[in-house]
Amino acid sequence: MEKREQIYEGKAKKVYLTDDPDLVIVDYKDDATAFNGLKKGTITGKGVINNKMSNLLMQKLEEAGIPTHFVEELSDRETLVKKVDIVPLEVIIRNIAAGSFSKNYGVKEGTPFDAPTIEFSYKNDDLGDPLINDYHALALKLATKEEIELIKKYAFAVNDYMKAYWKERGVILVDFKLEFGKTSDGTIVLADEISPDTCRFWDAETMEKLDKDRFRRDLGGVEDAYNEIMGRLS
Ligand code: UDP
């Protein structure tokens, strides 16, 4: 597969065209940002970890019946994926109160929920990714009603699978963000990444944070945490 011109550079990844119009190559960087780009830094080795973790989880999810963009891992940092139009929604599932949920609603971090929650943010940096509901997503024509229903079904299925998967590895899946895309034939697939950048992982015994919160909150031991959580995968 030939790597052609770069079509996109985001906060954590670059995307390149290939000689197949339906496939692109994602290249993961070590750059880290938080608070809508206000905080910037580097997490050495993050790109390799996020690439490998995301690929492993997407393959498992695919086996569990959730369609994903994953095609083939090409190198430590590069993966061949289906070219999609990203649905401009950040889909967040939560099992335990943390982050913006705790802040917005005054709930102590670590409070478990009886059932997982789902929320959407409108993916728009200029607007600061505002929280929206299904009706807003429809009004903004971000997706059709059917697509929104499918996205919700897939997101909860990802949570069911991942919660159990991480539990077996001594990790609590607190919350995570997903993005979905539409392939050239209109199929909705799980896209973007699933990694310590996009999930909150707590060690089940020590409750130690093993994710990007260590960077966001200047807790130290960022690289160690990424290596630790990667080591739990098998
Ligand atoms: N998240 C993400 N990208 C974002 C916002 C959130 O990957 O732009 C993830 C975050 O890592 C966490 C979950 O979504 O696992 C919920 O994040 P929250 O809404 O609590 O926001 P935060 O506290 O990170 O600002």
What tens digit of pLDDT does each residue of 145-161 get?
Answer: 999 999 999 999 999 99
The parts of the chain modelled with pLDDT lower than 50 are none
Give the end-to-end CA distance of the chain in Å, rounded to a whole number: 28
Residue 234: per-residue pLDDT: 73
Atom in ligand 1 nearest the alpha carbon of residue 216: 24
Tell me if residue 148 falls in helix, strand or coil.
Answer: helix
Pocket test for ligand 1, best of 92, 173, 176, 200 (most atoms within 8 A of CB): 92
Q: What's the 23 CA to ligand 1 centre distance in angstroms?
A: 28
28 lines ligand 1 (CB under 6 A): no
Residue 178: per-residue pLDDT: 98
Q: What's the 205 CA to ligand 1 centre distance in angstroms?
A: 23
Sign of the CA dihedral 126, 15, 230, 165? positive
Residue 108: per-residue pLDDT: 98
Residue 63: per-residue pLDDT: 98
| CA separation for the pair 201, 218 (Å, rounded) | 16
159 lines ligand 1 (CB under 6 A): no
| CA separation for the pair 177, 198 (Å, rounded) | 5
